[in-house]
């Protein structure tokens, strides 16, 4: 797999992934089945997609993320749009793969409550320094206090860097409903933080 | 939307997009920063299938799920080109006959078209069946006026319904031959010899590719990339709930 350096540049904030310099050309090559174009697209979006999948509590992040990109690369001929549209389209597929995952899981086994003690991601990693203020486990635990829809909207806004309109398209809701979900998600998080800070 | 909501939306948007908190939102900004830090974790390694795809790409001209099978019309065309000369002639003649007779059988076609076609087909029937042999007249019991149910033994009286003039005993029942003269009611489709279209041996419907709803849906995209409803994930589970009344209790 080639490095991500060529053809990529960081976004303005430096936190929301990268953008391809010549997206149209890369997409055109990808449509012909070029592996190097697939790799560029994958390296552009693999982190946000996997972060989104992880934020939804999916344990099989690797499998679901790969499923998303397999669907993307084998369905490129049906996509039309620009880079922002492509990003939104990829997260639409990711959204449905996550939904499918939980639907299958619900049929396969009863759901269990999230317990941070059982989360293997509490182990420190090389990126632990970036999570000093709020650890991954705590983030996932806080996200667990939200409803699935609230968590979905928040992740798509923060991790996928999508606009309200794009999120509405991904989840199939109105922009007003997305705004309401977002507002309630933040209110729930505020309450959770206040509860944690309150003396017992 | 009220001004308060507008301000709140702007404030929320600023918080979510840039991470810059409004006064009092610092703890919340910290949580959102933690969520954003999930992006710093490396992506998981691709599965073997995806690794192969990234390394080798898709072979040029490889059948994609949507084009793995040619459309039905192309398969029929391919089958037709594979026929021999005799088969093509027979197929063409069958299709032509079916078309002509079918067109003549349409009630909406004017008599100026139906009558000549019917005459021509009748002549063709005579030619194919050889010289017409005299047919003995049917017995008197089958004379005009006999009801179809067979309960009309008595001849029709003056109040009986009129007898169709075409029920002449010279024409044998059930014979393919038709009288040279048009029937009294040329509009009746049952009087017109209808050709049977040639059965074209196309593959059963099960041969056709039936892509799953998942693949169909996932690949839908619109300019701008918003593809609501894509994927097999049932939207019934994501039914809009205006107002977001799904806040946990």
- Under 8 Å CB-to-CB from A87, ≥6 apart: which residues? A45, A160, A161, A162, B225
In whole angstroms, give the CA distance from residue B16 to residue B20.
Answer: 8
Tokens describing residue A3:
């490095």
- pLDDT the model gives residue B29: 85
Top-confidence range, A26-35, A185-194, B3-12, B208-217: A26-35
Put simply, whether B24 touches A (Cβ < 8 Å) is no
ipTM of the complex: 0.75
- pLDDT the model gives residue B65: 45
Put simply, whether B66 touches A (Cβ < 8 Å) is yes
pTM of the model: 0.52
User: B178 near B125, Cβ under 8 Å?
Assistant: yes
pLDDT band at B113 (very low <50, low <70, confident <90, very high): low
User: A22 near A64, Cβ under 8 Å?
Assistant: no
> For chain B, how many helices (H) and strands (E)?
7, 0
Determine whether the interchain pair B57/A62 forms a contact, defined as Cβ–Cβ distance below 8 Å.
Answer: no
User: B91 near B198, Cβ under 8 Å?
Assistant: yes
pLDDT, greater one: B52 or B151: B52
Counting residues of chain A whose pLDDT is more than 90, the rounded percentage is 52
Q: Is the pLDDT of residue A172 over 50?
A: yes
Residue A46: its H or E element: helix A35-55
Q: What's the DSSP call for residue A16?
A: S
Determine whether the interchain pair A134/B18 forms a contact, defined as Cβ–Cβ distance below 8 Å.
Answer: no
Tokens describing residue A103:
């639907």
For A65-100, write each residue's pLDDT tens digit.
999 999 999 999 889 999 999 999 999 999 999 999
| Residue B172 bridge partners (DSSP) | none
**Considering only CB atoms, which chain A residues are within 8 Å of B37?**
127, 130-131, 134, 136, 139
**3-class secondary-structure state, position A19:** strand
Determine whether the interchain pair B28/A139 forms a contact, defined as Cβ–Cβ distance below 8 Å.
Answer: no
Q: Do the strands A18-20 and A8-10 form a parallel or antiparallel pair, or are they unpaired? A: antiparallel
Q: Is the pLDDT of residue B85 over 50?
A: yes
User: A42 near B51, Cβ under 8 Å?
Assistant: no
Residue B218: its H or E element: helix B213-218
Put simply, whether B38 touches A (Cβ < 8 Å) is yes
Question: Which among A33, A78, A150 is the nearest to B57, CB-wise?
Answer: A33
Question: Which among A80, A142, A181 is the nearest to B223, CB-wise?
Answer: A80
In whole angstroms, give the CA distance from residue B30 to residue A140.
Answer: 13
Question: Which among A38, A131, A135 is the nearest to B57, CB-wise?
Answer: A38
User: B187 near B107, Cβ under 8 Å?
Assistant: yes
**Considering only CB atoms, which chain A residues are within 8 Å of B28?**
186, 189-190, 193
For A133-157, write each residue's pLDDT tens digit.
457 778 888 888 899 999 999 999 9
Determine whether the interchain pair B35/A139 forms a contact, defined as Cβ–Cβ distance below 8 Å.
Answer: yes
pLDDT, greater one: A7 or B41: B41
- Going by C-alpha positions, the residue among B114, B111, B81 that lies closest to residue B100 is B114
Determine whether the interchain pair B35/A70 forms a contact, defined as Cβ–Cβ distance below 8 Å.
Answer: no
Put simply, whether B153 touches A (Cβ < 8 Å) is no
Determine whether the interchain pair A143/B56 forms a contact, defined as Cβ–Cβ distance below 8 Å.
Answer: no
Determine whether the interchain pair A77/B66 forms a contact, defined as Cβ–Cβ distance below 8 Å.
Answer: yes
Top-confidence range, B30-39, B188-197, B211-220, B230-239: B30-39
CA dihedral A49, A55, A56, A60 (to 10 degrees): 70
Tokens describing residue A131:
């999570």
| Alpha carbon A19 to chain centroid, angstroms | 16
């Amino acid at each position: 797999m080639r490095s991500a350096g060529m053809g990529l540049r960081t976004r303005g904030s430096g936190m929301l992934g990268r953008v391809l310099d010549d997206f149209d050309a890369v997409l055109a090559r990808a449509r012909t089945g070029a592996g190097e174009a697939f790799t560029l697209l994958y390296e552009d979006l693999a982190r946000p997609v996997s972060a989104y999948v992880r934020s939804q509590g999916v344990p099989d992040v690797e499998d679901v993320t790969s499923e998303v990109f397999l669907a993307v690369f084998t369905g490129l001929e049906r996509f039309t749009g620009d880079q922002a549209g492509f990003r939104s389209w990829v997260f639409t597929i990711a959204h449905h793969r996550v939904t499918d995952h939980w639907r299958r899981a619900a049929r396969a086994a009863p759901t269990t409550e999230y317990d941070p003690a059982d989360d293997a991601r509490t182990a420190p990693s090389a990126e632990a320094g970036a999570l000093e203020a709020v650890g991954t486990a705590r983030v996932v635990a806080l996200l667990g206090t939200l409803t699935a829809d609230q968590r979905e909207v928040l992740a798509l806004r923060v991790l996928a860097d999508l606009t309200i309109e794009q999120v509405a398209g991904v989840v199939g809701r109105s922009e007003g409903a997305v705004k309401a979900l977002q507002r309630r998600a933040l209110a729930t998080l505020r309450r959770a933080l206040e509860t944690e800070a309150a003396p017992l | 939307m009220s001004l308060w909501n507008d301000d709140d939306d702007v404030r929320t948007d600023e918080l979510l997009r840039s991470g810059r908190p409004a006064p009092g939102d610092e703890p919340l900004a910290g949580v959102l920063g933690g969520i954003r830090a999930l992006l710093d974790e490396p992506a998981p390694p691709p599965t073997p299938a995806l690794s192969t795809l990234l390394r080798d790409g898709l072979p040029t001209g490889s059948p994609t799920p949507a084009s793995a099978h040619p459309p039905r019309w192309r398969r029929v065309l391919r089958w037709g080109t594979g026929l021999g000369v005799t088969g093509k002639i027979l197929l063409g003649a069958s299709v032509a006959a079916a078309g002509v007779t079918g067109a003549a059988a349409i009630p909406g076609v004017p008599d100026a078209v139906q009558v000549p076609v019917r005459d021509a087909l009748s002549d063709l029937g005579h030619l194919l069946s050889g010289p017409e042999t005299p047919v003995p007249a049917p017995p008197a019991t089958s004379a005009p006026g006999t009801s179809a149910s067979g309960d009309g033994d008595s001849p029709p009286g003056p109040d009986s319904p009129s007898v169709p003039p075409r029920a002449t005993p010279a024409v044998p029942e059930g014979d393919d031959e038709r009288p040279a003269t048009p029937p009294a009611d040329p509009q009746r489709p049952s009087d017109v010899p209808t050709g049977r279209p040639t059965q074209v041996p196309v593959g059963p419907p099960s041969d056709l590719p039936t892509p799953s709803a998942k693949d169909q849906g996932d690949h839908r995209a619109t300019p701008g990339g918003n593809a609501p409803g894509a994927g097999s994930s049932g939207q019934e589970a994501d039914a809009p709930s205006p107002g977001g009344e799904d806040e946990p209790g």
